Amino acid sequence: MKTKKKDLTFSRRSLLGTAGASLVVMSISSTGVITGGNGAWAATTKALTPETFATLVQMSRDIYPHDRLTDDYYAFAVSSFDEAAAGDAGQKALFEDGVTALNKAANDAHGMPYSDVGWEADRVAILRAMESSGFFQKVRGSLITGLYNNKQVWEKFAYEGESASKGGYLYRGFDDIDWLDQV
């Protein structure tokens, strides 16, 4: 087992509280290139509108929140939705209509689109109200593989990957407790 020294990081909640900002402001250009407000990620959409893509990134972060992951990891996972939408009109309608419904629910509850809702708890309440919908289940289910099968994400969680091809865990780190003296 590898140990990773903890870096001094800010939690998302503390960052929101101290900065007084509730979301990463998205700037969307007319060319379809979407860029995170802090320049952390950029994507070009093929089928989904830039607004839908940016909303799906925020939704993904709210479904699977990890302070260790920046928005570019979520944008990478959402790009698979754009690929699916490019190849299937039904998938495109599912994502576009789903985001429209999500924004309508946010507008009804808070008078603004989902991405502009400031508090994570308020966005999560909106998602909980629609968690039985096909749209939500498609996004949630696809993110499991889209986000967690990304080998770059594994490093952030100190996951070394599968072990079967390396002889399994029994003879490769199962009883490795070199971290015990660090506790």
Three-state SS annotation for the chain? CCCCCCCCCCCHHHHHHHHCCCCCCCEECCCCEEECCCCCCEEECCCCCHHHHHHHHHHHHHHCCCCCCCHHHHHHHHHHHHHHHHHCHHHHHHHHHHHHHHHHHHHHHHCCCHHHCCCHHHHHHHHHHCCCCHHHHHHHHHHHHHHHCCHHHHHHCCCCCCCHHHCCCCCCCCCCCCCHHHC
Indicate the number of domains in the chain: 1
63 Cα distance to chain centroid: 7
pLDDT at residue number 161: 80
pLDDT at residue number 97: 96
In terms of residue numbers, what domain contains 65?
Answer: 12-178
Residue 5 lies in a domain: no
Residue 168 lies in a domain: yes
Residue 3 lies in a domain: no
What's the pTM value of the predicted model, to 2 decimals?
0.71
For residue 90, what are the contacts with CB-CB under 8 A and spacing of at least 6? none
Residue 150 lies in a domain: yes
Residues 77, 60 contacting (CB under 8 angstroms): yes
Q: What is the pLDDT along the chain (183 residues), one digit of tens a residue?
A: 455 554 545 555 544 443 333 333 333 333 344 445 444 456 678 889 999 999 999 999 999 999 989 999 999 999 999 999 999 999 999 999 999 999 999 999 999 999 999 999 999 999 999 999 999 999 999 999 999 999 999 989 888 788 788 777 777 666 666 666 665
Residue 4 lies in a domain: no
Residue 89 lies in a domain: yes
Residue 118 lies in a domain: yes
Task: Please count the residues of the chain.
Answer: 183
Residue 37 lies in a domain: yes
Q: Which residue type is seen at 66?
A: H
